[in-house]
């Protein structure tokens, strides 16, 4: 008998799993995919660039159209939402938002790829017109509609990746932009000393950055539209308010089905992306927790690149192959206008939390030979275990060609290298690409000296 796989969630993780399983099993596996929204397989990471006008066309963000998925033999159902999961009966309850009907669907295997949901601040006015999240293509469309009315001032709530990317988008649209964050510095995924550099650069770009601010409410006008935000440090007027306050795993369905969740509210899987203690249940993408290979702890990292890999791993194993997702080291890159930002591994506070005793170095260098035109400034920070000299984390802030240098640190972390070992790495050198000593190596050299000095 043909087995049936149902994938819940039709974005990166879900459709990667569906595609890979179908490719490997063909007619031997019936594959259905349920997506509650109107779009599947799109790049949520691209939304800030679409809203900012850098990417013209919404369609460009769609990696694979529903028609393409269907041509590949996947029964993709848009606006169909899984509202219940019965693990004993092996059935899903599905709401068809198109016809407003509900039906039940049996499965042999199920992949939970329900993604993440924005953490909306629970304050008065947060649902007012003129307040926009940027999680889905529909969110992006709504925000673009608001931008049609030529707003003058934008307040972006949140100083993380989405916050700074949306700040750039609003700058690109010609708005006056204020970023409000409750953190000490923007980009709290970096240590505050590196975040301060991002802060300064954003101010230099004309972006007003307010840190350590508590949001009280969204102020609204007589028409009910947002007119600004009220904070513990006064009111900030705004014609549009953008929420970039991070996400958390969307595991409502899984929790209701009795599946155990991890510390961060995400599903916990084995290396093959099978949910622990739940036969025939798989999970992938923003709704799962991953092993942090530096600390050994589970973490929640919502990133399209992990979602794609995890989905493919689940699909490969569902398809009779073998693949694993060993974990992450916490690499992320971003930019705000011309400033590139990157991080990987543990921050100082992460080290404190897990018990690593560490030292840090921070070095300023250049992205190219000093004499080569366009040599931009770049700052590299390393976090290193005392005594052992083991690399624990790295952060980079700088001009063009800074961010992807983090990959060297990420691969070093993956391989548990010490800074003493990193110093000797054979990295690409030529004047248009690097100083003779690569900035990452200069930082490692300085860190190795400190480790030796004890």
Residue 325 found at the interface with its own copies (CB under 8 A): yes
By CB under 8 A, the residues from 72 to 111 that bind its own copies are none
Q: Tell me the closest approach of the beta carbon of residue 55 to its own copies, in angstroms.
A: 5
Residue 446 found at the interface with its own copies (CB under 8 A): no
Distance from C-alpha of 34 to C-alpha of 8, rounded to nearest angstrom = 5
Distance from C-alpha of 422 to C-alpha of 413, rounded to nearest angstrom = 10
Q: Which stretch binds its own copies (CB under 8 A): 45-53, 135-143, 249-257, 382-390?
A: 45-53
Nearest residue (CB) to its own copies, 46 versus 133: 46
Q: Give the x/- contact pattern for its own copies in 418-437, rule: CB under 8 A.
A: -----xxxxxxxxxxxx-xx
Nearest residue (CB) to its own copies, 63 versus 105: 63
Residue with tokens 């014609």: 239
Residue 268 found at the interface with its own copies (CB under 8 A): no
Among 30, 37, 31, 35, smallest CA distance to 9 is for: 35
Known active-site residue 287? no
Nearest residue (CB) to its own copies, 63 versus 255: 63
What the block records as the tokens of 423 is 């110093």
Binding-site size for its own copies (CB under 8 A) equals: 66
| CA separation, residue 133 to residues 141, 265, 375, 411, 426 (Å) | 11, 21, 37, 34, 44
By CB under 8 A, the residues from 364 to 393 that bind its own copies are 369-373
Binder of its own copies out of 438, 443, 444, 451 (CB under 8 A): 438
Binder of its own copies out of 24, 45, 78, 105 (CB under 8 A): 45
Question: How far separated are the first and last CA of the chain, in Å rounded?
Answer: 66
Nearest residue (CB) to its own copies, 213 versus 442: 442
By CB under 8 A, the residues from 189 to 228 that bind its own copies are none
Lateral strand order in the sheet of 91-96: 80-86, 91-96, 101-106
H or E stretch including 177?
strand 176-180
Binder of its own copies out of 9, 46, 133, 195 (CB under 8 A): 46
Among 96, 91, 99, 66, smallest CA distance to 79 is for: 96
How buried is residue 450: exposed, middle or buried, by Cβ count under 10 Å (0-12/13-18/19+)? middle
Residue 308 found at the interface with its own copies (CB under 8 A): yes
Q: Tell me the closest approach of the beta carbon of residue 421 to its own copies, in angstroms.
A: 8
Nearest residue (CB) to its own copies, 56 versus 122: 56
Q: Which stretch binds its own copies (CB under 8 A): 17-25, 51-59, 215-223, 228-236?
A: 51-59
Q: Tell me the closest approach of the beta carbon of residue 349 to its own copies, in angstroms.
A: 20
Binder of its own copies out of 303, 380, 384, 447 (CB under 8 A): 303
Neighbour tally for 408: CB within 10 Å:
22
Q: Tell me the closest approach of the beta carbon of residue 27 to its own copies, in angstroms.
A: 22
By CB under 8 A, the residues from 344 to 363 that bind its own copies are 344
Q: What's the 3-state SS for 217-260? A: EEEECCCCCEEEEEECCEEEECCEEEECCCEEECCHHHHHCCCC
Q: What's the 3-state SS for 4-57? A: EEEEECCCHHHHHHHHHHHHHHHHHEEEEEEECCCCCCECHHHHHHHHCCCCCC
Q: Tell me the closest approach of the beta carbon of residue 59 to its own copies, in angstroms.
A: 9
Distance from C-alpha of 186 to C-alpha of 163, rounded to nearest angstrom = 9
Among 314, 312, 303, 252, smallest CA distance to 281 is for: 314
Contacts of 145 (CB under 8 A, 6+ apart): none
Q: Tell me the closest approach of the beta carbon of residue 324 to its own copies, in angstroms.
A: 7
- Largest interatomic CA distance in the chain: 71
Q: Which stretch binds its own copies (CB under 8 A): 79-87, 207-215, 256-264, 321-329?
A: 321-329
Q: Tell me the closest approach of the beta carbon of residue 154 to its own copies, in angstroms.
A: 21
Q: What's the length of the chain?
A: 454
Q: Tell me the closest approach of the beta carbon of residue 253 to its own copies, in angstroms.
A: 25
Q: Which residues of this protein are in contact with its own copies, per CB under 8 A?
A: 12, 43, 45-46, 49, 54-55, 57, 60-61, 63, 161, 293, 303-306, 308-309, 324-335, 342, 344, 369-373, 401, 403-408, 410-412, 414-415, 417, 423-434, 436-438
| Residues carrying an active site annotation | 45
């Amino acid at each position: 008998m043909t087995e049936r796989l149902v994938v819940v969630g039709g974005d990166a993780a879900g459709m990667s799993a569906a595609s890979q399983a179908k490719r490997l099993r063909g007619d031997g596996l019936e594959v259905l995919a349920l997506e509650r929204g109107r779009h599947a397989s799109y790049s949520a990471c691209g939304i800030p660039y679409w809203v900012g006008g850098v990417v013209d066309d919404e369609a460009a963000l769609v990696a694979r159209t529903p028609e393409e998925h269907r041509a590949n033999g996947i029964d993709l159902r848009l606006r169909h939402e899984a509202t219940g999961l019965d693990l004993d009966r092996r059935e899903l309850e599905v709401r068809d938002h198109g016809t407003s009907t509900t039906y039940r669907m049996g499965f042999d295997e199920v992949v939970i790829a329900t993604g993440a949901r924005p953490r909306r601040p629970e304050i008065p006015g947060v649902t007012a017109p003129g307040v926009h999240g940027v999680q889905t293509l529909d969110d992006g469309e709504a925000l673009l509609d608001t931008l049609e009315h030529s707003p003058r001032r934008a307040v972006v709530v949140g100083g993380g990746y989405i916050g700074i990317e949306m700040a750039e988008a609003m700058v690109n649209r010609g708005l006056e932009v204020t970023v409000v964050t409750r953190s000490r510095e923007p980009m709290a995924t970096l240590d505050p000393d590196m975040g301060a550099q991002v802060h300064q650069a954003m101010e230099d770009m004309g972006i007003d950055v307010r840190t350590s601010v508590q949001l009280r409410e969204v102020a609204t006008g007589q028409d009910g539209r947002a007119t600004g935000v009220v904070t513990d440090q006064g009111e900030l007027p705004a014609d549009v308010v953008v929420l970039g306050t991070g996400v958390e795993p969307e595991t409502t369905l899984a929790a209701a089905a009795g599946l155990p969740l991890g510390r961060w509210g995400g599903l916990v899987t084995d290396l093959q992306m099978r949910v622990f203690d739940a036969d025939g249940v798989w999970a992938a993408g923003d709704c799962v927790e991953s092993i942090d290979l530096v600390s050994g702890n589970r973490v929640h990292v919502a990133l399209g690149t992990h979602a794609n890999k995890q989905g493919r791993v689940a699909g490969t194993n569902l398809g009779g192959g073998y693949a694993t997702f060993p974990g992450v080291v916490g690499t992320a890159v971003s930019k705000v206008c011309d400033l590139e930002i990157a991080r990987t591994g543990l921050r100082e506070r992460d080290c404190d939390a897990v018990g690593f005793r560490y030292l840090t170095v921070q070095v300023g260098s250049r992205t190219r030979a000093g004499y080569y035109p366009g040599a931009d400034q770049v700052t590299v920070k390393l976090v290193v275990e005392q005594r052992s000299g083991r690399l624990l984390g790295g952060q980079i802030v700088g001009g063009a060609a800074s961010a992807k240098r983090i990959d060297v640190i990420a691969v070093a972390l993956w391989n548990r290298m010490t800074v003493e070992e990193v110093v000797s790495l054979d990295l690409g050198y030529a004047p248009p690409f690097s100083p003779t000593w690569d900035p990452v190596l200069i930082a490692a050299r300085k860190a190795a000296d400190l480790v030796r000095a004890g």
